[in-house]
Amino acid sequence: FTNIINALQALDKTYSNNEMVRKILRCLPRTWMPMVTTIEEAKNLNILALEDLLGSLLTHELSMQKKDDDEEKEKKKKIVALKSSQTEDFEDDDDDDDEELAFI
């Protein structure tokens, strides 16, 4: 975005800080809508510096990535594989058979 803005300034097309802030907020994907709403409600967009907006967005992105990483770690921790083994105990089987015959 800043590269495009700088190139446009070289061509004598300038945007106000307010216009740039609003353009960035409009371009964000739907998953960012709660953050956009929060910024619009909490801050005065007419005086919000572009650098402050970008800093807020980057901070939010990093916290979302950290949360995703933590969730991945939790999923890996929850997966437990148990090894099973089958042993035959002939004495117990004979006792069970004797008991079943006794009931018959």
- Does the predicted model carry a pTM greater than 0.85? no
The full set of domain ranges for the chain reads 1-68
pLDDT at 25: 92
d(CA 32, CA 34): 6
Q: Determine the Cα angle at 64 with ends 62 and 55, to 5°.
A: 40
Two tokens at 94? 């004979």
- Average pLDDT (36-42) is 91
* pLDDT level of residue 90 (50, 70, 90 thresholds): low
Amino acid at 71: E
Contact yes or no for 50/20 (Cβ under 8 A): yes
Burial state string for 59-72 with b = 16 or more CB within 10 A and e = fewer than 16: eeeeeeeeeeeeee
